[in-house]
Amino acid sequence: MARLLVDKSPPLRGTVRISGSKNSVLPILAATLLAEEKSIIEEIPRLQDVSIMQALLESVGAKTYWNENTMEINVNTLTQYEAPYELVRQMRASFLIMGPLLARLGRTRIPLPGGCAIGSRPVDLHLKGFAALGAEITQERGYVQAKADKLIGAKVYLDFPSVGATENIMMAGVLAEGQTVIENAAVEPEVVDLANYLNAMGALIRGAGTDTIKIVGVPSLRGVTHSIIPDRIEAGTFMAAAAITGGDLYLENVLSIHLNPVIAKFKEANIQVEETENGLHIFSQGDIQGTDIKTLPYPGFPTDMQAQLMSLMSIAKGNSVITETIFENRFMHVAELNRMGADIKIEGRTAIINGVPILTGTQVRASDLRAGAALILAGLIAEGTTEIQDIYHIERGYDNIEEKLRKVGARIQRIDI
């Protein structure tokens, strides 16, 4: 079992290169199943979640090859319409292969997904979309099955702009007959990256990035080369690392437009952020100020940055209120931060943070990916050593985080016990 030991660190200084986006690469790898030819995906972050998606692709008949951060995927014949429970239970995003398998094979059977412990996270909107396109959906013994002799384009209204449902329905719609319209669609940059990839393959998708996506079905798609967009959440996490240590970091390979809501909050908290063409420069001047934050679908403040900002606010001057509107039960890091000396109270979906001057290192547990990142951040400024357990959550979604942090001065090491 591995753990991370984080010691109080000096202000971080230097340059960090941000990797490709986890939330972009997962749907795009799933979408490679839609082409009968070779696809090449570049700028892939090396993550546990990517390995799970790779194994899923292989399990249904794809052949995959790595060359550094590029993966070549050959999907001449799909041999399976079913995904193995052993893989799906490890990652909720496994469900994203449902749309492509249904579109290619007219049939698929997937175990209901597991994933992070951040609320119930149903998949009803994905299934509502497949049903609207004419699929017959049945559920039995923890599996969901979808069947359709032919998918037919239709109008789908999402009750909530779910990222995964928008992506899954889009992937099913590209090979359907006629026009599919997704209303109240998610507008996240990762949805746009997927649409750009699908359009390069020959799909006809308009409106990705707005709340109405129109897809005209085509008979087949071709294999192409695509480069994944930079990970806005990894960038935001390193922004927080610079800020919390009072450091000065330059982040390379960032599309700062995707970070507008995060940058706005950093500036409100008295952290200096300068945008350059391909990156961001973050440095601290004076105290961090308490700031109120409410998570919302894009272009609102991302739920995936909520825990990291909580660490930052825990040592800020004054009080902050953080409201989580996307996921229920996404405050599991609060108890761990309080064990480190933070003063945070939860009232329903709101956390009230009273900034404290110091945190103290102790043993803590990463309850999910971003909670784990928040504990690393807290560990960087806590007195003494912070020992983080269950770090497999962190490794699921951050590409080499401890090495990247160490290079800019963090005192962090991974130990195997």
CA 220/CA 131 separation, integer angstroms: 21
Least Å from the CB of residue 161 to ligand UD1: 7
CB of 276 to ligand UD1, least distance (A): 26
In angstroms, what is the minimal distance from the CB of 378 to ligand UD1? 20
Q: Radius of gyration of the chain from Cα atoms?
A: 21
Q: Which of 26, 52, 60, 282 binds ligand UD1 (CB under 6 A)?
A: 26
Contacting ligand UD1 within 142-161 (CB under 6 A): 160
53 or 288: CB nearest ligand UD1: 53
216 vs 224: CA distance, rounded Å: 19
CB closer to ligand UD1 out of 93 and 273: 93
Binding of ligand UD1 by 126 (CB under 6 A): yes
Stretch that binds ligand UD1, among 68-76, 162-170, 278-286, 354-362 (CB under 6 A): 162-170
For residue 165 the two structure tokens come to: 């449902």
Distance CA 230, CA 110 (A): 30
29 binds ligand UD1 (CB under 6 A): no
- Give me the phi and psi of 232, to 5 degrees please: -70, -25
66 or 160, CB closer to ligand UD1? 160
- Active-site residue numbers? 116
Query: Of 47 and 176, which CB lies nearer to ligand UD1 in the complex structure?
Result: 47
Which one, 20 or 290, has the nearer CB to ligand UD1? 20
Q: Determine the angle formed by the axes of helices 163-173 and 189-200, rounding to 10 degrees.
A: 10
Is 307 a residue that touches ligand UD1 (CB under 6 A)? no
Among 326, 330, 337, 332, CA closest to 364? 337
Distance CA(324)–CA(84), nearest Å, equals 33
232 forms part of the interface with ligand UD1 (CB under 6 A): no
Does 300 participate in binding ligand UD1 (rule CB under 6 A)?
Answer: no
CA distance 277 to 102: 40
CA gap 267, 259 in Å, rounded: 12
Shortest Å distance, C-beta 304 to ligand UD1: 5
Of 60, 93, 269, 388, the residue at the interface with ligand UD1 (CB under 6 A) is: 93
Q: Least distance in Å: CB of 96 to ligand UD1? A: 7
Using CB under 6 A, which residues numbered 186 to 225 contact ligand UD1? 186, 190
Kindly state whether residue 304 participates in binding ligand UD1, applying the rule CB under 6 A.
Answer: yes
Query: Which is closer to ligand UD1, CB of 26 or CB of 242?
Result: 26
Binders of ligand UD1 among 353-382, rule CB under 6 A? none
Rounded to whole angstroms, the Cα distance separating 336 from 320 reads: 18
Query: What spatial distance separates the first Cα and last Cα of the chain, rounded to whole Å?
Result: 5
Burial of 141 (0-12, 13-18, 19+ CB in 10 A): exposed
Of 127 and 175, nearer to ligand UD1 (C-beta) is 127
**Binding string to ligand UD1 for residues 321 to 350, with x set by CB under 6 A, is what?**
-----xx-----------------------
> Is 68 exposed, middle or buried, given 0-12, 13-18 or 19+ CB atoms closer than 10 A?
exposed
Q: Is position 262 an interface residue for ligand UD1 (rule: CB under 6 A)? A: no
Closest residue to ligand UD1, based on beta-carbon distance = 164
Question: Are 365 and 117 contacting, i.e. CB atoms less than 8 angstroms apart?
Answer: no
Instruction: Tell me the number of residues near ligand UD1 by CB under 6 A.
Output: 22
Interatomic CA distance for residues 182 and 99, integer angstroms: 14
Contacts of 150 (CB under 8 A, 6+ apart): 106, 134, 176, 177
* 396 contributes a contact to ligand UD1 by CB under 6 A: no
Specify whether the CB–CB gap between 49 and 368 falls below 8 A: no
Does residue 164 interact with ligand UD1 by CB under 6 A?
Answer: yes
Residue 299 near ligand UD1 by CB under 6 A: no
Give residues in contact with ligand UD1 (CB under 6 A): 23, 26, 92-93, 119, 121-126, 160, 162-165, 186, 190, 303-304, 326-327
